[in-house]
Each structure stands twice: as C-alpha cells, then as structure tokens.
Structure 1
Amino acid sequence: MTWSQWLISPFITSVFFVLGVITLYWVTFNWLATWIRSRHLKIDEDLVRNCYGVIYMLIFVFGIQYSVVGQSNAWEFMNFQLIAIIFCAYFLNIHIPYYFFFPIILVYMVFDQSIGYWQSWGHAITLITFFWVMNIVRVKFRNRKYSLTSYLLVGIPFGGMLWIWMKWKFAFPWSTFAEEWIYLVIFEILLYAYITMLSHDSALRLRLANLASHDTLTKTENFTAYTNEIKYLFEQYSEDSEPLSMMMFDIDHFKRVNDTYGHLAGDAVLQHVSMVVQTVIDENDQNVKFYRTGGEEFNIIFPNYKIKETETIIYQIFEAINHLSVKTGGQEIKISVSVGVSEAIEDDKSPIDFYNRVDQNLYHSKRNGRMQITVA
C-alpha cells in the first residue's frame, strides 16, 4: 500500500496522537523516577511528577500551537490543549497557585498574538476556573463509584464554554463548534479509560514491587531490600568515607514461644515487636532503615551514623522491647532481645564482612546471658 492510498480520518489520527503524547509522558517520567531512585536521591517523587508534568505539557501546548500562531485556523489544536489541561488538573492532580496562572496565561496570549481580543480573556478566565474545578473533582470523587460521571459533568460543559469563546472569536459555523465539542467529549472519555488502565497497571506493579521488598507478616522491608540498601550504603562508605553503623537483634528463646504458645502467637510477637521498633525509629530519624532479615532476626541500618551516635536510638529500642508483654489468644507473653552493634571499618572489604562482625556481636550477647547489647 502506498502513502497516497493510506487515508485515515483526522479524528482517528488525533486519537492516536493524544494517546501517544500521554504514553510518552508516562514512559519518560517513569524513566526519570527510576533514575532518581537508583541514585538514592532524596527528592519527593510527587514534586518531580508535578514539575515534570507542567513542563512537559507546556512544551506540548506551545509546540503544537506554534504552527498556527496568528492564522485564521489558530483554534484547530485547542482540543489537544484542553486534553493537556485535563491531564494535568485531573489525572496528575497538579495544584498550581492562582498567582502562577496569570503569568503563564499572559505569556501564552502574547505568544499566540491573542492578547488584544476580549474573547481570549474570557477564554483564559474560563480555563483557569476549569483547571481549579477539575482539581476539586479529582480530590472529592476520584476513588468513588461515580468518578467518571463527575469527571464528565465538569469536562463536558466547560469544554462547551471554551469552544463558545473560540466561535465568537473566529466566527466559524455552529456545525464546526458542535463537531469540535463532540470530539472533545470523545477525547475526554478515551483519556479517562486509557489513564485508568495505565494507573491500574502501575498500581499492580507497585504492589508486586512492595511484595518483593517487604515481609508480608511484619510489613517491614525484607532481606532482599536489606541486601540492595547495604550494598549501596557500603559503596558510599568505601568511596566517600561516610559513616555507617548497624544494629542486629533477635528475640530470645523465640522457638520456645512457638513451641509453647503456637505459631500464631509467635507471629503476633513478631508483628508487635516490629511495630514498636518502627515507632521508635520514626520518632527519632526516618532515614534509619529497619529490616526483618530472618525468622526472629532483625537488622537496623544507620546511614551517616558513627557508632557513638546510634546509642540513643539503640537504647530506646532495647528498653522498649525488653520485658515487653504481648497479649494474644488469652495468653501474655513476655519477651526480651539480644543485640549486636558495630560500625563499618577499613578491614571490611564487603557488606558481608560488615554483616558478619555485627552478627558476631549479636551472638556474643546470646552466649553471655542474652538480653544485652554487645558493641564492638
């Protein structure tokens, strides 16, 4: 088939173009987010998503309008621009302060050579209101039964109002107005369905990633997550001499708990201990990492901590767990822990060397009476 025979409706082409632009956004954003996570950069992912979304869509809107600036058909790409607005306002839920809107709108109107038209000012005010209402609808109805209905109840009338301003400005026929409005409604429905599908896939991948890196019983991160994190932190220590300390503890006589009270009671003990430890960590420093690395064995990593600097948190955890009573199945189980602590040193050639030294300190505590801390 030759190009001269390849005749496709402009509407069909537009559908694939819009979906392609949205797909490119998700692909590039996911790449950016993965790059940030791989380098352990302390950047809020929501902030990155919002900033990248605004920049991406502004480039798209300005870029697509560039070819028709100042022409009698300058309205032709408005549906694409409205889809970009809806994507940012509803699906990305980007909140833009009102004082940012006006300079953006002003720059666009100068760029589009429309600043002298009263219809353009009416269109701009309607557009700002549309964005604001879409934000509200997203927050209130996004996860409810009638989310699609509320989305369309805002998108359809606002789309009509925005196209009315364009009809008044460019004086095209009512048939063209109706056609473009209907196209916009179809685009809105397709966008909703497509983003919902992508979001579902993203949520599924997130759940699978969470299962791969977290212990299902205690909800703490697991040995796989520990391995990945300690590898990165040990490299930082080796290259930049950033201090790195670790605490390892396990529950004393845990086998006796399982044998005496049953495995369900043992599970309850593990869950309660994990909750207490995480609470202490959160109250001190959320950069401290907590992992369940074995049956009743847990590791806590202290990035950028010298061993002396870990004392406060370690003793708070030790005091919080020892003599802790866990009530389950009508029974009250008293528990204690043994602890080993150490700091990475030059003799450690790998994370395994570091781990083994902390492990030896833990077993020193267990061999010498349990319920104590060995620091070396």
Structure 2
Amino acid sequence: MTWSHWEISPFITSVFFILGVLTLFWVSQNWLITFLNTHYQRVNESIINDWYGLVYMLVFVFGMQALIVGQADAWIFMNFQLIALTFCGYFLNIRIANYYLYPLVLVFMIFNRSLGYWQSWGHALALLLFFTTLRTLRKRVPLQTKVGQVTLYFLTCAGFGLVLWWFMWLKFNLSWGTYWQEWGYLMIFEVLLYIYASMLSANAQLKQNLVSFANHDALTKTENFAAYTTAINYHLTASRQNGVPLTMMMFDIDHFKRVNDTYGHLAGDQILQHVTQVAETVFEANNPNIALYRTGGEEFNVLFPSYDLTEARLVAEQLFAAVNHLVVPFNGHQIQLSISVGIAQLQPEDTTPTEFYRRVDDNLYAAKKHGRMQIVAK
C-alpha cells in the first residue's frame, strides 16, 4: 500500500478518519481543560466545551471543503460535515445562540460559492433545522428510556439525512443509486458516532465523578481538604506572581462536641449541612470566586482571592451575623449556633501554605480562647 496505490476501500478509510477526528477532539479538549485548570483556577468547562467544539468542527468542515470548492463533486464530503453537525448539536450539546449560527451558514455558502443556487438555500435551511432539532432532543424532550432516546436520535438523523441529500441530488444531478448509497453511509456513520461518542462520554462522566468524589466532602457537598490543598498552592503562587492580595478565613462551630454529646451525631451532621448552606449563600452573593472548604470535623477554611484583610472581614461579618442568628430544629429541640472566626492576609513571610495556614489558625485559636463567637483578624 503506497500513496498512489491504496487497497482499502474509501468507506473503511472514512470510518477510521471520522473516529480519528473525534479522538483528536477529545484528547485536545482534555489537554486544553487540564492546561487552563492548572494555570487558571475554576475555569468554566462548559464554555470551553461550547467554543472549542464549535471552532474545532468549523476548522474541520471548512478545511475539507476547501479541497473541492467549485468542483463538480463538491458534495463528496457532505457526510463528514453532517457528522460534525451531529456531534456538535447532540453529543457536545453546544449552548450557543442561533443568531451566532446563521452567519456561519451564510459564510459557508459564500465560501462554497453556492449563493446562486436555490437548492443550496434549501439545504442551508434544512441544516439549521437539523441542528436545532438535535439540540432540542438533547435538552428539552423528556426521554424515559434509553430505547426512546436512541430511536428519536436515529429517526431525526435519518429524516434530515434524506432531505439534505435530496437537495444535493437536485443540485448535482446525482443518480438515485448514489443518493441511496450516500444516505446509507450517513446512517452507518451516525451509528458509529452514537456508539463511540456514548463510550467516550461515559468514560468522561466516570472520570468527572471520581474527581468530584475525591475533592468534595460527602456530608456537606462542599470541597474538602484535598481540594483546599490544590487551591491554596495555586492561589499562593498566583498572588506572588501577580502582586494581588490573598486572604484566608478559618471558622468552626462553637461547642460542636457538646452538641454531638447532647443531641447525637445526626444533629451534628444536620448542623454542618445548615452552616454550609448558609456560608455558600453568603459567599455566592458576594463573589462566586470565594471558595469554601471543609478541612476538619467542624472546621472550615475560606479563600478570598484578590481580597485584602479589610475586604474579607466585611464578608466574614456577613457570615458571622447569619450563622449566629441560625437556629437548627432537631427532634423538637431548637439548637442555637455560633461560630468563631480567624482571618489573615498573606504576608511576605508566609513562604509556604503551611505558614499561612498556621497564622490563620492562630487567629481562630485566639477567638476561641477569648470567649468564642468572635472574629479575630490581623
């Protein structure tokens, strides 16, 4: 087998080509997300999924079509383009408004020199309806069973495939044999796409679940000490390099052991959940970048990126007031809560995360030593 002598049929080659394009997408996307997570804390992976997926498939579609623009066989890569459309609309579930997509279709028609053909306009309209239908199936149609989901997917692909290839049949005066052959190839590609993408999605979901389990506290659902360790290392480095402040708060629930001894551990668990919910509400209302971590039994750490001591204390006082007015009902009892808080801003002498942590912990200890239900910030 040489460059000029290829024994493998075009169909087999096409199958491996499509799988290779999809594999390259998943590998490159995962690399990009890993890179951004390493250098920029808390990146929005959904936005990366949307825009990287769109750009990747646009490069794929335009790149292939550039090889045959203006030729009599300018239809030969259409199945590849439909697979790219299906992948973006159904499996990636790209959440991009339609008014971004309309200009892209028009640009492709100009690029393909097809503005003067009514068949191309019908084809473009069918493409937009196909993409919209795929997104609707993915997001809004309640699918009770896997069989129902698969059935709707293939009916949609088959129906729109017939319409889209009909426009190509009209425009290029294809034979009926070619029409049905290309539609059949499209259906085979759609089957392979569904199987392959479902396998990759399942693996990605499993990986995401494992990462989430490793970095989140099972009881409160907030991030745990492992996540805190990763975050403090990142933020400390970023603070040093960018010259921005970093402040940390540590708080714990006063007399928590007494609550457990008096009312039982179920009461303690409920209190931890209530306090976490209140804390997350307060922080989300101020700045979503404020991060809460459960680092011990009743101890929590909070990182304030780009906050100085004064700014962080203002947020801490909101939490302090909210929790100190919190009453948790349990088995007919009303459990009054309070917290003690220690806050410190990163200083030049804090050369390691441990040293920074120790200063915050010292402030928390001072708050508890002087009667609890206090904030010590210095």
Aligned equivalent of 2:174: 172
**Bigger mean CA deviation after superposition, 199-208 or 71-80:** 71-80
Q: How far 1:68 sits from its partner (Å)?
A: 2.8
Quote how far apart the aligned CAs of 1:327 are.
1.7
Deviations along 1:183-222, one digit per CA (max 9) or x if unpaired, are 1112112212221221111111111111111111111111
Residue 265 of structure 2 corresponds to residue 268 of structure 1: no
Partner of residue 342 from structure 2, selected from 336, 340, 343:
340
- 1:316-347: per-residue Cα shift (whole Å, max 9, x none)? 11122225322223333222222111111122
Post-superposition offset of 1:12: 2.3
Cα displacement (A) at 1:296: 0.9
Change beyond 3 A, Cα 1:309–1:109: closer
Matched, 1:136 2:136: yes
Separation (CA, whole Å) in 2 of partners of 1:254 and 1:42: 32
Go from structure 1 to structure 2 and tell me whether the alpha carbon gap of 1:237 and 1:117 turns closer, same or farther (over 3 Å shift): closer
> Do the aligned partners of 2:313 and 2:343 also contact (CA within 8 Å) in 1?
no
Q: Per-residue CA shift, 1:205-263, capped at 9, x if unaligned?
A: 11111111111111111111111111111122223331111111111222222222222
3-state SS in 2 of match to 1:345: coil
Distance 1:211 1:43, change over 3 A: closer
Question: What does residue 104 of structure 1 align with?
Answer: 104
Alignment-derived partner of residue 160 in structure 2: 158
User: Partners in 2 of 1:236 and 1:118 — Cα distance?
Assistant: 56
Secondary structure (helix, strand or coil) at the match of 1:67 reads: coil
Partner of 1:312: 314
Q: Are 1:141 and 1:150, in contact at CA under 8 Å, matched by a contact in 2?
A: no
- 1:182 maps to a residue whose letter is G
Amino acid at match of 2:119: Q
Alignment-derived partner of residue 82 in structure 1: 82
Q: How many residues in Structure 1 have an aligned counterpart in Structure 2?
A: 375
Aligned-residue identity in percent:
51
Alpha-carbon distance between aligned partners in 1 of 2:5 and 2:65, rounded to the nearest angstrom:
29
Opposite residue 207 of structure 2, the aligned amino acid is: R
CA positional deviation for 1:348: 1.6
Where do 5+ consecutive residues of structure 1 fail to align?
none
| 285-294 vs 123-132, greater mean Cα deviation | 123-132
Q: What does residue 190 of structure 1 align with?
A: 192
**Where does residue 365 of structure 2 map in the other structure?**
363
Q: CA deviation at 1:363?
A: 0.9
| Structure 1 residue 163 displacement after superposition | 0.8
Change (3 A) 1:210 1:99: closer
TM-score by structure 1 length?
0.92
Q: Does the Cα contact within 8 Å between 1:50 and 1:92 map onto a contact in 2?
A: yes
Q: Does residue 217 of structure 1 match 2:219? A: yes
Looking at structure 2, the residues matched to 268 and 195 of structure 1 have their Cα atoms a distance apart, in angstroms, of 41
| Aligned-pair CA distance for 1:7 | 3.9
Distance change in 2, residues 1:116/1:214 (3 Å): same
Matched residues in 2 for 1:95 and 1:369: separation? Answer: 52
Alpha-carbon separation, structure 1, partners of 2:188 and 2:330: 56
Q: Distance in 2 between matches of 1:353 and 1:158?
A: 63
Tell me if 1:293 matches 2:295. yes
The equivalent residue for 1:8 is 8
Counterpart amino acid of residue 367 in structure 1:
K
Aligned to 1:91: 91
CA drift of 1:281 comes to: 1.2
**2:273 corresponds to 1:278:** no
- Displacement of 1:166: 1.3
CA contact (8 A) 2:41 2:234 kept: no
